[in-house]
Amino acid sequence: MYNAKAYSAASATSPLASTVIARRDPTPNDVQIEILFCGICHSDLHQVRNEWSNVMPTVYPCVPGHEIVGRVTKVGSAVTRFKPGDFAAVGCMVDSDRTCPACKAGLEQFCPNFTLTYNFPDKHLGGVTYGGYSDSVVVDQHFVLCVPSNLNLAGAAPLLCAGITTYSPMRHWGVTKGKKVGVVGLGGLGHMGVKFAHALGAHTIVFTTSPGKKEDALRLGADEVILSRNADEMAKHAGSFDFILDAVSAEHDINAYIQLLARDGNLVLVGAPEKPLALSAIGLLFARRSVSGSLIGGIAETQEMLDFCGKHNITSDVEVIPIQKVNEAYERLLKADVKYRFSIDMASLKSE
């Protein structure tokens, strides 16, 4: 074991503050990474404030962060894919059982025995796993990703959650050239959805309630922008979308978007609104449409996504902050006051 610097919350109402945590010494299959950047995901805030107490109660102290990029500092004897000095990344998971049907299908995100990057039982040290708001992490090589060397590291960090969450459903439901794709909700997830849909060659349309977001949507790669409150504009697109990515976490009317799907079209939810959504069956029946959910992605697909980003030079639009501003960033996140993701420069932790 060794000590690592980190930021942790001591309770649901405490601000995040500087601390020291224990990390394991690398086992033969482990990769030790010096964390350079860690993205801030809305999940971090939910977990820190124990807002998921009914399904995943928070164990304190809690060190969040699952959008991790850094440099390999040490590898175990059985590690073949990494060597010290390589850029590496870690996402939402650090382990799984490797034997269940989901794992065998490369879909570790659906493994009933996965280990999430933070606030999950730590099989090595006991207690719970600690995430990426830290200067160092040790992770089994199977859950460590390679980062293409051309990518900006601060912008690459959010790919590990916001990126794979939007890339995976597009690949699964066949977003390609010739398809008409919509993105609802231009935030941390949605802005990645626009970049991926565009790079995959789809005709990409952003739905927004704010005329002010139009310019930015076009800059991100949208071919068109639809003001979702304009019923006439919406009606013009009825029955025409092959796929719509719905990245809205607040309550909203999904039926308005279902009506825009073509036959066999799919509305995929990647946000998780707290209250149930109202679903009209008729909208599904009349064109054999579907509403689905999707959750991050498997490890192989995460690597595929990173390689795709390398090829197309895709990163998240980030505002880089020092870790000392993390509590302020959380407050701004609640007001959607960020374009489009915060990325913590972990060099700032050295001064703690």
String of contacts with its own copies for each residue 64-103, x by CB under 8 A: -------------------------------------xx-
- The least CB distance from residue 103 to its own copies, in Å, is 11
**Nearest to residue 306, comparing CAs of 293, 318, 319, 315?**
315
Q: What is the DSSP letter of 126?
A: S
Q: Between 281 and 335, name the residue whose CB sits nearer to its own copies.
A: 281
* Cβ–Cβ under 8 Å, residues 5 and 20: yes
User: Phi/psi of residue 128, each to 5°?
Assistant: -115, 160
Q: Does 178 bind its own copies (CB under 8 A)?
A: no
Q: What is the DSSP letter of 147?
A: P
Q: Between 91 and 155, name the residue whose CB sits nearer to its own copies.
A: 91
Q: Return d(Cα 16, Cα 326) in angstroms, integer.
A: 7
* Cβ–Cβ under 8 Å, residues 6 and 21: yes
Q: Between 177 and 282, name the residue whose CB sits nearer to its own copies.
A: 282
HSE of 232, CA atoms in CB hemisphere, 13 A: 0
Q: Between 37 and 196, name the residue whose CB sits nearer to its own copies.
A: 196
Residues 137-176 touching its own copies, rule: CB under 8 A, are: 172
Residue 36 CB neighbours (<10 A): 23
Residues 286-325 touching its own copies, rule: CB under 8 A, are: 286-295
Give the SS3 label for residue 264.
strand
- The least CB distance from residue 279 to its own copies, in Å, is 4
String of contacts with its own copies for each residue 105-124, x by CB under 8 A: --x--x--------------
Give the one residue of 56, 59, 234, 284 binding its own copies; rule: CB under 8 A.
284
Give the one residue of 280, 300, 331, 337 binding its own copies; rule: CB under 8 A.
280
Q: Return d(Cα 320, Cα 344) in angstroms, integer.
A: 6
Residue 146 CB neighbours (<10 A): 16
- Total binding residues toward its own copies, as defined by CB under 8 A: 34
* The two three-digit tokens of residue 343, written as one number: 């990325």
- The least CB distance from residue 266 to its own copies, in Å, is 8
String of contacts with its own copies for each residue 228-267, x by CB under 8 A: --------------------------xx-------x--x-
- The least CB distance from residue 231 to its own copies, in Å, is 16
Give the one residue of 212, 232, 285, 335 binding its own copies; rule: CB under 8 A.
285
Residue type, 85: G
| Burial class of 169 by CB neighbour count within 10 A (0 to 12, 13 to 18, 19+) | buried
User: Would you say the C-alpha torsion 289, 292, 298, 302 has a positive or negative sign?
Assistant: positive
* Cβ–Cβ under 8 Å, residues 319 and 154: no
- The least CB distance from residue 47 to its own copies, in Å, is 15
Q: Between 304 and 352, name the residue whose CB sits nearer to its own copies.
A: 304
**Nearest to residue 246, comparing CAs of 228, 229, 224?**
228
Q: If residue 30 lies in a helix (H) or strand (E), which one and from where to where?
A: strand 30-40
- The least CB distance from residue 24 to its own copies, in Å, is 29
Q: Between 98 and 311, name the residue whose CB sits nearer to its own copies.
A: 98
Q: Give me the residues that bind its own copies (CB under 8 A), please.
A: 101-102, 107, 110, 172, 254-255, 263, 266, 269-273, 276-295
